[in-house]
Amino acid sequence: MELLLVIAVLGILAALLLPAVNRAKGSARATACRSNHRQLVIAWTLYSEENRGRLVLLTNWVAGNMTNPQEAANALLLKDPSVSLFARYIQAPALYKCPADASPLVRSVSMNNRLNPDNDCWNGGGGSRCEIFRASQQIRSPAQIYVILDERSDSINDQAFCVDMSNTGNMDGKGANHPYWMIDYPADYHGGAGVFSFADGHVEAHRWLEPTTLVPLGQADGDTYSSATDRDVSWLQEHCTYLK
């Protein structure tokens, strides 16, 4: 009888403590994620300063396509300066992945597709009315423009996070009017929020609000059209670039 009472008490204590433990773990992961982003945006800034303001090339700041199994598991690519330009500043592969990302991928971060791309994918056509940043001096509102964010493991592929600025559902801007179209999906690993680093060096978490952004892992679909009142895509557009 006494043993059963002790077991019952322990069970009650465990039930009471478990949520607090989970919250503490979540808070620790969020803190570590923010720290990673600070290191990444420092590397981005250092590269620009050492190259007279020129921004790092979008396709070469880090190597590895996360849809390629051989590259998705290869942390050595992240440290190789011949293929990853950030490798000169960062030699710890763990900095490229959010601690809350449970996937086997070596990287969870992507860069704003408006920061010195070497092609016009999602930047030309209907998106050509908005700024493409080649040098740090071009960014007139650095506290507004994000540099790096965590992208969901079922969405991440290349080095860029693409935001459609035409709202046509077509990269050349000639498609039908579909207000707010999600191409790539931001991560929501921290209680429905994702971490961003900005061009002025600050780091913040942004909480997502729309069900089309917060679909379960494995259900991200790059052909998703959302409503004309989509607050998440609107926020991404406002912090990706602005009209010329």
Q: What is the pLDDT of residues 160-175, one digit of tens each?
A: 999 988 776 666 666 6
Q: Are 126 and 166 in contact (CB under 8 A)?
A: yes
Q: What pLDDT, on the 0 to 100 scale, is given for residue 21?
A: 45
Q: Where are the domains of the chain?
A: 31-240
Q: How many CA atoms lie within 13 A of 105 on its CB side?
A: 26
Q: Is the pLDDT of residue 26 over 60?
A: no
Q: How far is CA 81 from the centre of its chain?
A: 22
> What does the alpha-carbon distance between residue 119 and residue 180 come to, in Å, rounded to a whole number?
23
* For residues 227-239, average pLDDT: 91
